[in-house]
Chain A
Amino acid sequence: MSVMYLEETQWARRRFLALGLGVIGTLYLVAFILPMLYMVAVSFGETRLGTDQFEFEGPLAAYERFWGSEYYREIMFDSLRLAFSAIVGTIALGLPLAYTATKGSRWYRIVIIVAVVNPLFVSTIVRSFGLDLFLKAINLADSFGAVLIGTVQILLPFMVLPLMSGFRAVDPLTVHSAKTLGSGRFRIAVQIVLPTLAPSLLAGSVLVFILSMNIFSIPLILGRPEDPTMALVVYHSALAHANFTFAAGVALILLALALVVIFLQGRLVRGAVRGVV
């Protein structure tokens, strides 16, 4: 009897669980996979939409226009420059903060987490407005520096949170034995802490890279209109010029950059793990 009861529940449960996955799977298919495919298709489409004058024709027009013109290539390098500066900035601020938050007392931890994490929760736009007003008051607004400060402020938690779990992963016993065997602090930092930290450092950098390339509200509010980022080009082409082909093309270039970086990160982490073991 008990066997029958078990089998009956197994069946009902399996059906119930499959239903749960089915619903969310269908939603993803319709509202996630399908739109992405449409965007790929549209980026190779004819450029019927839009008011822009197009020098390029054919299915690759959007991509040729982007790679072919000095103007857009310059924008891409500016966006990359912003992304790498943001990585350097968040690491410089994030390392000491994450270290103290992990190793310090409970109060250090609470203060640092509240200080660092709150931009995640309070509107990026409102925050950028406040920063813009403040920077205007001290004559720093509308510059690369302003965009960088805004980006670092918003993205710092994406560096600090992975770094905190990285510092937590450092084995205190290994550090202790290294100390007993006579290693100095510098040697411990380079040979024990840094290798353990490397995956988190990479993960944080990848997140900061992708997000700083893609957030358009910060350069829109804090930057000069004359030198937009790639995300702003997407935004303007789609909404101001209604040129979906070009917008989709640039968006896919952005996405490709993100995927390349994620792939490289995976390779590097795997390589590092193999190197250590």
Chain B
Amino acid sequence: MTGARGGDLEWLWRLGRVAVLTLAGFVLVFNFGVLLVVFLSSLSDTPFLVFPPRGLTLDWYSDLSRYKEAITYSLQVALVAATLASTLGTLASLAIVRSNLRFKSAILTFLLSPLIIPSTIFGLAVLVALTQLGWRPGFWPLTIALTVHTAPFCVRIICSGLQNIDWQLEAAARALGASRRRAFTRVILPLAAPSIAAGWGITFILAFDDSSISIFLARPTRQTYGSQLIADLDDRLTPGLAAAGSAVIVITLVSVALLGLIYWLQKRFVGAGIAGPIDGASLLDEGRS
């Protein structure tokens, strides 16, 4: 197929393919290796953080209470933020997909606009506004900020999910006598559920992993694990920090596996991918910070 012209260069092409696979393997090993390094150094029985670990102990995992609180707090914040963002994202996406509003693409651009504000800048802005208004950082400011920062991802995912739904099914349900509410809860919601769940999951992971917003908006006495790790950078570089990191890695990998499962189930049983194109969003394609 490649023809006589490329024939004498075929070995070069094959070499290129081997090189690319080696590169992919290297990136894979490197990306997961870095996580393995964190786990291994949490086993060190030295009082300071070191790699390769010296000695072998699980003691640092019994010392996790300091981080357990922070990890629980991160989980709570992420849970509320993800629920808020996916609820609001669903409502907004319904309006965008189903209404005959004018300026639809302008509205969508507005809804996606927090994507272009990097999280460090956004966190600082919220802190500055809070200080000016005489309020203090805490659970709600942090949660609301994370909701706004992650809502665009929900809107993007849920919008493309809703666009893939066959809306004549709703009309059919109505024609067969279902009430508006019943048609929505029994027909539309189950069809939209996978993309809503995917939106929730991604928001949850982003909010849970956040450090650049919570470093500004968590109280010093009540830290998320991200801001706690950064606060401990100077004076508490013990293997306990790596143990907390390992716990976080397990939590996120489990959530990602669940998310992958949802995606797979959706592809298998609904047939439409969650990453379809939506108009007006090309500039903000795949953005995250």
Contact = CB atoms under 8 A, between A and B. Distances in A.
25 contacts: A20-B90, A23-B91, A31-B145, A31-B147, A34-B129, A38-B132, A96-B23, A100-B17, A108-B24, A111-B24, A111-B25, A118-B32, A120-B288, A121-B253, A126-B35, A134-B33, A137-B51, A158-B288, A165-B285, A182-B5, A203-B282, A216-B120, A247-B124, A251-B125, A255-B121
Nearest to A115: B28
B180 A9 contact: yes
Interface of A: 9, 12-14, 16-21, 23-25, 27-28, 31-32, 34-36, 38-39, 42, 93, 96-97, 99-100, 108, 111-112, 114-116, 118-127, 129-131, 133-134, 136-137, 153, 156, 158, 161-162, 165, 179, 182, 184-185, 203, 207, 210-211, 213-217, 220-221, 231, 234-235, 238-239, 244, 247-248, 251-252, 254-255, 258-259, 262, 265-266
A20 B129 contact: no
Given A93-B23, A116-B27, A130-B34, A234 B120 contact: yes
B252 A244 contact: no
Interface in B149-193: 151, 174, 180
A244 B34 contact: no
Interface string B1-41: 00101100100000011011101110110111111111001
B64 interface: no
- The 3 A-B residue pairs with the shortest CB-CB distance, nearest first, are A20-B91, A214-B118, A115-B28
B126 interface: yes
Interface residues of B, number: 91
Contacts of B119: 214
A38 B129 contact: yes
Interface string B108-145: 00110110111111101111110110000000000011
B209 interface: yes
B103 to A, nearest CB: 11
B265 interface: no
A208 B196 CA distance: 28
A187 B132 CA distance: 60
Interface in B81-95: 88-92, 94-95
A233 to B, nearest CB: 11
Interface of chain A: mostly helix, strand, loop or mixed? helix
A212 B282 CA distance: 21
A19 B91 contact: yes
Contact of A21 (B92, B120, B255, B287): B92
A255 to B, nearest CB: 6
A151 B9 CA distance: 35
A174 to B, nearest CB: 16
A126 B23 CA distance: 23
A119 B230 CA distance: 19
Contacts of B121: 39, 214, 234, 251-252, 254-255
B80 interface: no
B116 A262 contact: yes
A20 B128 contact: no
